[in-house]
């Protein structure tokens, strides 16, 4: 990676999509612990972390360090990556979690384990898997907005406008989307036990799916792989949880804000 690039990650560590970045940082060896992330420390002086927090009851963002907030003109979401040219000061931004870790994986290609495949076909297959996964997550959001009364409030969806039919359709399409991911990754699951093709261990696809699986369990008590047809993904996730850093990162108390624990009404889906 060019030493002329200064990289800054804006992360709310407890969030769904920021978790993708957190898992990538740990797998890549750029942080050694969750405390490193909370301290904004990485193993590369050119990569820094601005930590975001949420303050109830209005849930506005706080920043650490406070003098480097995420510009509203750029984005109001997290994660976000700023790439600044050290010589000219010119800035560009990467705004989506799956794009951020794909960029970082290329930027740090010579460091740590390879989390993306080298071959063109495997790289294309990885793109297919991540794209399908993100489509499935969009369907899950439809389900949750209608099934969770608290999220409906955040989504400005009136209670009388919540729909069991919409929840059922969103859930069904979500499961179908995950079933596609599972089928498309069948070869790599059979050979390596992981979702990312062309890698020896967990890679970009694994990170992209493990993060929402964990977050939605913490926030809603929802096991994304509860359907019997998704049993191979459930077994994959159990393997992911056995990675040596998992317990230290995800096993502590207060890993998820109590104010953001929601419920799901168990519609007949």
Q: Are the C-beta atoms of 19 and 89 separated by less than 8 Å? A: no
Q: Are the C-beta atoms of 100 and 22 separated by less than 8 Å? A: no
CATH architecture observed for domain 5-107: 3-Layer(aba) Sandwich (3.40)
C-alpha 152/C-alpha 129 separation (Å) is 29
Which pLDDT value is given to residue 106? 97
Whether residue 36 is preceded by a cis peptide bond, meaning omega within 30 degrees of 0, is no
Residue numbers in the chain where pLDDT is lower than 70: 1-3, 56-59, 266-269
Which tokens sit at 100? 């951020």
Which pLDDT value is given to residue 269? 44
For residue range 218-235, list pLDDT tens digits in order: 999 999 999 999 999 999
Which pLDDT value is given to residue 57? 62
Domain extents in the chain: 5-107, 120-260
Nearest Cα neighbor of 83 from 94, 74, 72, 73 is 94
C-alpha 202/C-alpha 193 separation (Å) is 8
C-alpha 118/C-alpha 14 separation (Å) is 31
* CATH number, domain 120-260, options 3.40.190, 1.20.1050, 1.25.40, 1.10.1200: 1.20.1050
**3-state SS track over the chain:** CCCCEEEEEEECCCCHHHHHHHHHHHHHCCCCCHHHHHHCCCCCCCEEEEEEEEECCCCEEEEECCCCCCCCCCCCCCCEEEEEECCCCCEEEECCHHHHHHHHHHHCCCCCCCCCCCCHHHHHHHHHHHHHHHHHHHHHHHHHHHHCHHHHHHCCCCHHHCCHHHHHHHHHHHHHHHHHHHHHCHHHHHHCCCCCCCCCCCCHHHHHHHHHHHHHHHHHCCCCCCCHHHHHHHHHHHHHCCCCCHHHHHCCCCCCCHHHCCCCCCCCC
Q: Are the C-beta atoms of 83 and 92 separated by less than 8 Å? A: yes
Which pLDDT value is given to residue 72? 85
């Amino acid at each position: 990676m060019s030493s002329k690039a200064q990289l800054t990650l804006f992360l709310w560590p407890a969030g769904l999509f920021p978790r993708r970045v957190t898992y990538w940082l740990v797998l890549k060896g750029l942080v050694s612990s969750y405390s490193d992330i909370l301290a904004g420390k990485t193993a590369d002086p050119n990569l820094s972390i601005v930590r975001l927090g949420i303050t109830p009851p209005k849930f506005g963002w706080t920043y650490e360090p406070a003098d480097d907030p995420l510009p509203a003109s750029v984005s109001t979401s997290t994660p976000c990556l700023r790439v600044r040219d050290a010589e000219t000061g010119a800035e560009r931004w990467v705004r989506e979690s799956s794009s951020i870790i794909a960029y970082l994986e290329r930027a740090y290609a010579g460091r740590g384990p390879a989390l993306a495949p080298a071959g063109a076909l495997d790289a294309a297959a990885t793109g297919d898997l991540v794209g399908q996964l993100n489509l499935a997550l969009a369907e899950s959001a439809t389900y949750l907005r209608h099934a969770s009364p608290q999220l409906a409030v955040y989504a400005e969806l009136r209670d009388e406008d919540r729909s069991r039919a919409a929840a059922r359709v969103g859930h069904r399409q979500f499961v179908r989307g995950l079933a596609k991911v599972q089928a498309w990754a069948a070869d790599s699951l059979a050979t390596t036990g992981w979702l990312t093709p062309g890698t020896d261990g967990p890679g970009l696809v694994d990170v992209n799916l493990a993060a929402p699986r964990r977050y939605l369990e913490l926030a809603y008590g929802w096991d994304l792989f509860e359907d019997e047809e998704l049993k191979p993904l459930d077994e994959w996730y159990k393997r992911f949880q056995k990675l040596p850093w998992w317990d230290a990162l995800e096993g502590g108390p207060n890993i998820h804000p109590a104010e953001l624990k929601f419920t799901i009404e168990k519609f007949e889906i």
